[in-house]
Amino acid sequence: MTSLLETWELDREIVLARVLDHPREKVFAAWMDPAALGAWYGPAGLRIETHEADIREGGVWRFDMVGVFEGKEERFPNLMRFLEIVRNERIVMDYGTPDPDDPDRFRMTVTFDQQADGKTVLTLCQLHPSRERRAAVIGFGAVGYGMQTLDGLAAWLDR
């Protein structure tokens, strides 16, 4: 299989990283188990409601992020399509809404780098369709929300 990794201009990219106090096999497993993924994924204050979870190359995870804002429940539909999964090394997916023509869909690559001390450096790299979309995503707080997601993963792994 050819790799889905490619080169691009950095003005379309957002990169988040976190050192986790766990071996990469355990960190990778938290991404592969639909129940685990639904338990830790997403920003603080939102819960995940999974509609479909087929976590394999060619599979999808269709879910809503659900939260209460000003007393009213709001749902944010999401869809990840898994393009490449290399066990304990990398997951590549397209990420957007369930709309097949979603113009804001982006490519997300998650890497798992084992350190000599047994910890794992997890890196999320988002490649947005344009520099304008990247700026919009940063503007609505996606960097902070992404770090909250990584905090959720760390807490889930530590429990």
Q: Are 106 and 129 within 8 A, CB to CB?
A: yes
> Which tokens hold the place of 21?
């106090």
Q: What is the mean pLDDT of residues 10-35?
A: 96
As a whole-number percent, the residues of the chain with pLDDT over 90 amount to 93
- Is the predicted pLDDT of residue 81 greater than 80, yes or no? yes
- Sorted by where each begins, the domain ranges of the chain are 11-158
- Is the predicted pLDDT of residue 1 greater than 50, yes or no? no
Q: Are 90 and 108 within 8 A, CB to CB?
A: no
DSSP of 73-89: EEEEEEEEEEEEEETTT
- Is the predicted pLDDT of residue 42 greater than 60, yes or no? yes
Whole-model pTM?
A: 0.90
Phi/psi of residue 132, each to 5°?
Answer: -65, -40
The residues facing 98 across adjacent strands are none
Report the candidate in 16, 33, 51, 9 with the shortest Cα–Cα distance to residue 157.
33
Greater pLDDT, 11 or 2 = 11
Q: Which fold has domain 11-158?
A: Alpha-D-Glucose-1,6-Bisphosphate; Chain A, domain 4 (3.30.530)
- Is the predicted pLDDT of residue 129 greater than 90, yes or no? yes
- Is the predicted pLDDT of residue 7 greater than 80, yes or no? no
